[in-house]
Structure 1
Amino acid sequence: MWEFFIKNNKFAYLFLIALIGLGSYSIVAIPKESAPEVVIPVGVVTTVLPGAPATDVESLVTNEIESGLSSLENVKKITSTSREGVSSVVVEFDASADIDTSISDLKDEVDTIKQDLPQDAEDPFVSEVNFVDQPILTIAISGELSDFALTELSNELEKRIESVSGVSRVEVSGVRNREVTVIVNQESLLRFNVSLSEVSGAIGRANLTLPVGQIINDGVSYNVAFEGDIADSEQIQHIAVASRGGQPVFVKDIAVVEDGLAPASSLSRL
């Protein structure tokens, strides 16, 4: 072979020029992406069994789902996690499998399996794992600040990042929403002959733009939504809830208003 190129050096030069030309054209013509989309067919089956310990979730839900999914085609690997009240089964398909077809087949199989699950179990939810939606940057905020100050700081940072060109979505986790609590004094209600429904109705109808909050009476909490255009919780104190003897009865006369944060429902760690 080498002797051919040595004896026909002109052909060798032409071949080399053609090779360089083809390579240069490929560099220009082939599409290039700095962050190419990664498509890996992965589906997650999440099932809730309220109040069940992890061992029961595994034996009654997770094992049933894994067994039923074993007949699926193009499955590369199945992994699962069982914890108190929740079963999570991750199905990874072969890279060559069509993602839409794979997820559709997974949903069909799960619809069949759910008949064998406990009656108390909620219907399994099938979701597709989209790696494009995974975060490219995670920021943790900590400091010697109150929970309210950290929440305000997180919300402000969220707005600033969203304003950056090219940012598709920003999600904040581990923070507590603002919540206004009205703690009613039972003795004051009796003294002014005001019912709790009058208090709740007056606050709900007030011209206020505030998050959903609570009215607490004698240790019992009642949710209430605020509507309107005023975002100052102190205004709640001056809402008239009734009229007695020609004089208005204000919220401040029968209750204490606290502007704080809702109870924590999740924790985020980094």
Structure 2
Amino acid sequence: MTDTPSTENRPTAAELERDRRDALRLKITRRKLGPSGRLGRAFLDSKLTPLIIVASLLLGAFAIMVTPSEEEPQINVPMIDVLVGYPGASAEEVEYRVITPLEKLLYEIENVEYIYSTSSPSGGMIIVRFLVGTDPDQAALRVHTKIQSAADEMPPGATQPIVKPRTIDDVPSVAYTLWGEEADGQELRRVADELKVELTRHPRVAQVSVIGGQRRAARVDFDTQKLSAFNVSILQAYQAIESFNWRLPAGSTSVADQEITVDVGQFLTSAADVAQVIVGVYGGKPIYLKDVATINDATEEPADYVWLGTGPAAPEKGLKRAGIDRPAVTLAVAKKPGTNAVDMVSDLDRYVDRLKGPVIPSNINVLKTRDYGATAKEKSNELLHHLLSATIAVVLLMWVTLSRREAAVVVVVIPVTLALTLAASYFFGYTLNRISLFALVFSIGILVDDAIVVVENIHRHFKLKWGEPHQVTTYALDEVGNPTILATFAIISALMPLAFVRGLMGPYMRPIPINASAAMLFSLAVAFTISPWLALRLFRKEFDGEEKASDDEIEFVTEEGRISR
């Protein structure tokens, strides 16, 4: 007779499950927590974690609002123009006696990369280009000091060299074109000169250039026979005109509690004033300029021309009709370094509107013919939209391939990481341009890797149900912490060499490795702090629900007295 094993001595399903969990718990918790596990455990129940999420998003929004928007990155390439005159000398003489010695002298300056020169009759120009990244103020100071040190070696008759720095910010950010149906070039130029004075006062404007139009001038046509008859030379007449055209402050006086400034002399304001200039004495009588020349109120010889012509698309630009063909004058406005071009152009638009009437007469129209702020804003907004589209695509991919809980974590992780990266980019001194924003679009695909690895491993451990949720989350994070750190720094080590490229392409492309590496570091920090905090709260309900279902099943089996899994 054989003995049948009693069902009372066989372990129940609940006992088997409990033993499995205990064994798994003992195996996992046997190892010591690493830095990632300890960091995640510190933030699991911390009240600072949600505050960090909100603060990061607000910091990113602030960075977007205050960071200047530009089309291209700022490249610091100092270029110095050196202008020198040598009246009466030929181009060959200017090159041999002035330009070549100055070139040799300027090549002695540190960080000079290239020198270009142009020689022409009576003068020449040298362009000194420094290495990328050289301080522009230091470059201009070095050039000026070097030239002054050799001032005594300049040939007799040569003028004092003029040192004029050039930077990328000298390129106009906005241009306003003045034109009118009845206005001529002289009137447009007069209004443009007045408008230039007003625009220069704006705190964000570096310089304003007036292009086109003709300035008012007195035209003097000398009669050589009369000059000989009165024994007056042209040089004598020129010096006489120059001596009459001056005005200097002579002090001030107080009258009736008012301070009155006293000036001596006056400027010549009309052709009649010029005609009354005394150019000499003959036979005991003064010789006036009108006695030896013909004076007309005219305009100066134009150095450049601006003309406004319109086609069929004129109404789309705010013009009344097509077929306009009128002279015009353009004011080109350059911004100060570090100024937000979008904000400056918006301020100037409102400022110009306020000047219509007090400065700009009603018969003159203002047309904005260049708007760097609008193009920069368009490019940055376009890339921000691509950034949003890429984020949505990644979230949808997580939803489809994993689950809605993993997608919910990615919804929070990506904006927080991008917000912190934008804030870091602002503090690094970068602007919002197509290169820096492209770096963020490029890094979206890799910055979610850390969060996905961490969250998916936490989810796997929740499915095993070997411990309580806090313990499971901590050890699941610690299990993949070191590989995640290694993978992150492997990507950073592959990107960072690009930041040390020399030449013009170095600073142009530098925002890509810098911003992408910053995004990877922030994604690692977020994966170790915010991702476990979110995963615990999203997966705990699922964990609690499965635990309850499992307990109900075990109780049912026990009451029936048989094992059925």
TM-score normalised to the size of structure 1?
0.56
Q: CA deviation at 1:139?
A: 6.2
Structure 1 Cα separation of the partners of residues 296 and 67 of structure 2:
52
Could you tell me which of 137, 148, 154 is aligned with 2:189? 154
Could you tell me which of 86, 107, 117 is aligned with 2:154? 117
Report the counterpart of residue 33 of structure 1 in structure 2. Answer: 68
8 A Cα contact 2:190 2:215, kept in partner: no
- After superposition, what is the alpha-carbon deviation per residue over 1:193-240, rounded to whole angstroms, capped at 9, x for unaligned? xxx9xxxxxxxxxxxxxxxxxxxx9999836457789x7867999xxx
Which structure ranks higher in relative contact order (CA pairs < 8 Å, sequence separation ≥ 6)?
2
- After superposition, what is the alpha-carbon deviation per residue over 1:117-148, rounded to whole angstroms, capped at 9, x for unaligned? 322322222222254454334567899999xx
Call closer, same or farther: CA 1:25–1:117 in 2, change over 3 Å. same
Report the counterpart of residue 178 of structure 1 in structure 2. Answer: 217
Structure 2 Cα separation of the partners of residues 235 and 57 of structure 1:
39
Report the counterpart of residue 55 of structure 1 in structure 2. Answer: 92
SS at match of 1:73: coil
8 A Cα contact 2:211 2:305, kept in partner: no
Report the counterpart of residue 529 of structure 2 in structure 1. Answer: none
Structure 2 Cα separation of the partners of residues 108 and 236 of structure 1:
41
- After superposition, what is the alpha-carbon deviation per residue over 1:134-190, rounded to whole angstroms, capped at 9, x for unaligned? 4334567899999xx421222234445766795846443552323276999x99xxx
8 A Cα contact 2:218 2:271, kept in partner: no
Report the counterpart of residue 101 of structure 1 in structure 2. Answer: 138
Alignment of 1:126 onto 2:160: no
| Structure 2 counterparts to residues 62-101 of structure 1, below 5 A | 62-101=99-138
Could you tell me which of 296, 300, 303 is aligned with 1:267? 303
Structure 2 Cα separation of the partners of residues 260 and 183 of structure 1:
15
Structure 1 Cα separation of the partners of residues 221 and 86 of structure 2:
35
Call closer, same or farther: CA 1:155–1:32 in 2, change over 3 Å. same
Q: Which amino acid aligns with 1:267?
A: A
Q: Which has the larger radius of gyration?
A: 2
Identity, in percent, stands at 20
8 A Cα contact 1:76 1:94, kept in partner: yes
Q: CA deviation at 1:101?
A: 2.3
Call closer, same or farther: CA 1:85–1:19 in 2, change over 3 Å. farther
8 A Cα contact 1:38 1:132, kept in partner: no
Structure 2 Cα separation of the partners of residues 99 and 236 of structure 1:
44
Q: Which amino acid aligns with 1:42?
A: M
Report the counterpart of residue 83 of structure 2 in structure 1. Answer: 46
Query: More strand by proportion, 1 or 2?
Result: 1
Call closer, same or farther: CA 1:142–1:69 in 2, change over 3 Å. same
Q: Which amino acid aligns with 1:222?
A: A
Call closer, same or farther: CA 1:63–1:20 in 2, change over 3 Å. farther
Q: CA deviation at 1:22?
A: 4.4
Structure 1 Cα separation of the partners of residues 110 and 54 of structure 2:
44
Q: Which amino acid aligns with 1:26?
A: G
Q: CA deviation at 1:113?
A: 3.8
Structure 1 spans left out of the alignment, 5+ residues: 12-16, 188-195, 197-216, 238-250
| Structure 2 counterparts to residues 198-209 of structure 1, below 5 A | none
Alignment of 1:222 onto 2:237: yes
Q: Please give the root-mean-square deviation of Cα atoms over the aligned residues, in Å.
A: 5.3
Query: More helix by proportion, 1 or 2?
Result: 2
- After superposition, what is the alpha-carbon deviation per residue over 1:42-84, rounded to whole angstroms, capped at 9, x for unaligned? 2221111111222222222222111122121112222122111
SS at match of 2:126: strand
Q: CA deviation at 1:114?
A: 3.8
Structure 2 spans left out of the alignment, 5+ residues: 1-35, 44-49, 246-264, 276-287, 307-565
Once the two structures are overlaid, the 10-residue window that deviates more, 45-54 or 167-176, is: 167-176
Structure 2 Cα separation of the partners of residues 236 and 87 of structure 1:
33
Structure 1 Cα separation of the partners of residues 155 and 293 of structure 2:
46
8 A Cα contact 1:234 1:257, kept in partner: no
Report the counterpart of residue 252 of structure 2 in structure 1. Answer: none
Deviation above 6 Å: which 4+ runs of structure 1?
A: 17-21, 139-146, 217-221, 226-229, 231-237, 254-257
Call closer, same or farther: CA 1:141–1:86 in 2, change over 3 Å. farther
8 A Cα contact 1:236 1:257, kept in partner: no
Q: CA deviation at 1:89?
A: 1.0
Structure 2 Cα separation of the partners of residues 80 and 97 of structure 1:
21
